[in-house]
Amino acid sequence: MNQNQDPSNEEEDLQERALPQGDAAPGDDPHHDLASEHVDNVSPLVPIELDNDGYRYMPDEDASEESEETTEEADYQPSSDDAEQDDEEDEEYEEEYEIEDEELEQDELEDDEQDEDDELDEYEDQDEEGTEEDEEEDEEPEQDELEQHASARSQEAIHLSKIEIDHERLPVGMLFSLDDVNVSVDALAGRCSSLGFGGNRISQTVHEALENLTTDSAIWMGKESSELSNELQSPYLKSLNSEARKSISAFFSVSGGIPDRLIQLSASADLAIDNAISMARRLKGESCYRTIAIAGSDHGRTGMCRSATGIPEVQERFGPMMAGFTHVPMGDEKTFTAALDEQTACVLISPINLQDSAIPCDAKFLLRVRELCDQQSIPLIIDETQVVFGASGSPATFQMLANITPDLVIFSAGLFNGITGALTLGSAEFAKSNGDNLCDFPLQTAILLDTLQQLDESQLIAPLVDDIHPLAIKIAEAISGFEFVRDINATGLTIGIESDIESSHVVATSARHGLRLATAGPTAVCLQPPLLLGEIDQQALIDRISCTMETLEREFSDTSL
């Protein structure tokens, strides 16, 4: 060592060369190697950032090269004693450095192992959490599968009977396709059309009527204005009115008992009933405003129709009903006779009560009502709007029940191919003060004429043997063995089934079997199929009803147990 050189300066120089640039002082760094302060040929350490926000120091090769160049350029030569002393000190320092370096490497190795252990533990924890989550996810599908299997087992008893039919031929009768596989049976299809879903000709009629409606504004002018401007009406409307008058009169004149001197159309069945009651009140004068109706009957949902309806549930939450309506029990001649007075404007009766198991009106009672109305000059109105046209073997259902002629009769179901509308036919007395209005409803008129023409050509309306339709007999035979079935009421194709099960549940169960029914009271359902029925339609209906009843019998038996 050079004696002229200041040892303190030498140590400071060594410290500056040993420290990495920008690092802390040796005493501040816990990983700082003290041996690097006194060894010339030892490479300085530089910090390397680790994943765990710590640092590990590695030799700086650039600084080591600079240190070697600086040592070679030194301008002094140490003496032999100094060299020996320096060698001894260097050896001691090297041994100390090696020991401390080994300890540092050992510490670093232990730190690395600890970090790896921590990371491994973390990964294991994550794996365990992931495994638990996977197990939970695995359990959830298993639970879902169990629920699906349980649901499938519960649905095993509910199946759709197969119907071998070409889907390209649908719709016909009561059948319509839900998709390429399933076929549904609509046992209420007669309400849409007496011809069923097979009346394909109706589309052409509607198309022709709509084309002509867009060229004439007379239909929006009202009755009085249109009468004053008949010369300005389109040829289509003029010919439609004339043709409709002749065709309707010819159709209903064949079967007696239906008046046809007045022919009017309405936009809906409810409006037709409103209009019929209003015409009767105007005919009888201001002092006559009372209407005698039957308890339990349903005549619609307008204000006047709700008042005429004899069902308390229909009138609830609507406040006081319209004055002038009295309800008497069906078949009670004594009560009915007592209700008639000088203020009575009309009597309103439905031939079949679809809210009471589809029970038809008593024939003797109808004859007595007609007799009493004739004695006191009170109009008799028959509401056939909810009964399928022609389903009894006659155009009107009352014709099957009793040989009477009402003053007004209203038809709707089955005549307009699903479009709302109603036909009112009246006697000569009503025709004096009311005129035909066929031009006011050209679309309904066109559909009505097409339906009547097809019914006439196909001769679907024909008297029934013993007033019983063969389909009703087949249905009765199919369900007679079920203990919960109490009775079957059949008036032509209007069929009511009474049972010990709530009607809403029967309708819901039938829907699961692809069958559409309607409630007919608390514990009764109703069928109203169309007149156009093939063997496939009838067999499909019987199969679906049988499947529904079998399911209900199992449920009913389980409930009883």
| pLDDT tens, position by position, 292-316 | 999 999 999 999 999 999 999 999 9
For 328, phi and psi rounded to 5 degrees? Answer: -125, 155
Least confident window among 141-145, 436-440, 452-456: 141-145
pLDDT band for position 154 (cuts 50, 70, 90)? very low
For residue 334, pLDDT beyond 80: yes
Say which residue, 204 or 138, is predicted with more confidence. 204
Which distant-in-sequence residues (6+ apart) come within 8 Å of 38 by Cβ? 11, 14, 89, 93
pLDDT band for position 236 (cuts 50, 70, 90)? confident
Angle between helices 442-458 and 202-213 (to 10 degrees): 160
Tokens encoding 478? 């199919």
pLDDT of res. 378: 97
Return the CA Rg of the chain.
50
pLDDT band for position 4 (cuts 50, 70, 90)? very low
Name the segment(s) of the chain with CATH classification 3.90.1150.10: 171-192+464-560
Under CATH, domain 171-192+464-560 is a member of which superfamily? Aspartate Aminotransferase, domain 1 (3.90.1150.10)
pLDDT of res. 22: 42
Tell me how far apart the alpha carbons of residues 170 and 355 are, in angstroms, rounded to a whole number.
32
Least confident window among 153-167, 302-316, 394-408: 153-167
Angle between helices 535-560 and 503-512 (to 10 degrees): 120
For residue 270, pLDDT beyond 70: yes
Least confident window among 52-66, 229-243, 260-274: 52-66
Tell me how far apart the alpha carbons of residues 557 and 561 are, in angstroms, rounded to a whole number.
6
pLDDT of res. 45: 41
pLDDT of res. 465: 86
Percent of residues, the chain, with pLDDT higher than 70: 66
Highest mean pLDDT among 60-69, 191-200, 217-226, 467-476: 467-476
Residue with tokens 């004339």: 242
Tokens encoding 205? 């009629």
pLDDT of res. 101: 55
Tens of pLDDT, residue by residue over 366-390, are 999 999 999 999 999 999 999 999 9
Tell me how far apart the alpha carbons of residues 89 and 97 are, in angstroms, rounded to a whole number.
12
Q: For all residues of the chain together, what is the average pLDDT?
A: 79
Residue with tokens 């031939």: 351
Least confident window among 75-89, 173-187, 412-426: 75-89
Residue with tokens 């009246």: 426
Q: What is the CATH number of domain 198-457?
A: 3.40.640.10
pLDDT band for position 181 (cuts 50, 70, 90)? confident
Name the segment(s) of the chain with CATH classification 3.40.640.10: 198-457
Tens of pLDDT, residue by residue over 96-116, are 555 555 555 566 666 666 666
pLDDT band for position 70 (cuts 50, 70, 90)? very low
What is the pLDDT averaged over residues 471-485? 95
Q: Residue 14 in contact with residue 40, Cβ under 8 Å?
A: yes
pLDDT band for position 556 (cuts 50, 70, 90)? confident
User: What number of other Cβ atoms are within 10 A of residue 38's Cβ?
Assistant: 19
Tens of pLDDT, residue by residue over 445-461, are 999 999 999 999 999 99
For residue 62, give Cα distances in angstroms to 56, 58, 75: 18, 12, 23
